[in-house]
Amino acid sequence: MPVRRTGRPVYLRTSFWHRAKSWPHQRRILVKIDVTAQGLDVRFMVTNRRGRAADLITWYDARGTAENWIKELKLDIHADRLSCHRFRANAFRLQLHSLALLLLAYFRRAVLAGTRLASATIGTIRLQLLKIAGRVLRSVRRLWFHLASHWPGHSLFTDCHRALARAPA
């Protein structure tokens, strides 16, 4: 493997023309090959755009990233639930949903880096870390959170709490 020999990852971007039996004419196929320490990653994209293969693959990667953000906004944050009758109310709700997505994305990058949830979707983070059963007790000066002692995400929750406690105010 090239990574083992040189110690550096290999990135190859190219394209070729191909016609499948069901296609009426040839189409351009973009090829993205990455050989890294994690292994071999081969991707193909069918396109009708002109330009250098490397530039088009960069453009498609950016487009995919944007579409993943939209998917998280709609599926994980439920930003498509705009059921108010007034435009301003729906616009405000959409802004709140967008703010929640940005805060959770920052939380994933700043606090969850190095954990098993570092590359998890916002929905997975909600289910495994935030959406948990517990009991809240309030005294005059403190809030007490009682969580189950055998909850599977307990150690990760504790690590996140420590990371937040160390963060500058």
| Residue-wise pLDDT tens digits, 121-167 | 888 888 888 888 889 999 999 999 888 878 888 888 888 888 888 87
β-bridge pairing 39-47 and 27-36: antiparallel
**For residue 67, is it within any domain?**
no
Is there a domain that residue 24 lies in?
A: yes
Q: Is residue 106 part of a domain?
A: no
For the cut 80, the answer to whether the pLDDT of residue 2 exceeds it is no
The answer as to whether 156 is a domain residue is: no
**Residue whose structure tokens are 């290999």:** 10
At 1 the pLDDT is: 53
> Can you give the residue range of the structural domain that contains 41?
1-56
Domain count for the chain, please give it: 1
pTM recorded for the entire structure:
0.68
- Decide if pLDDT at 116 tops 70: yes
Report the SS3 class of residue 124.
helix
H helical segments located in 49-86 = 53-71
In whole angstroms, give the CA distance from residue 83 to residue 167. 37
pLDDT band at 4 (very low <50, low <70, confident <90, very high): low
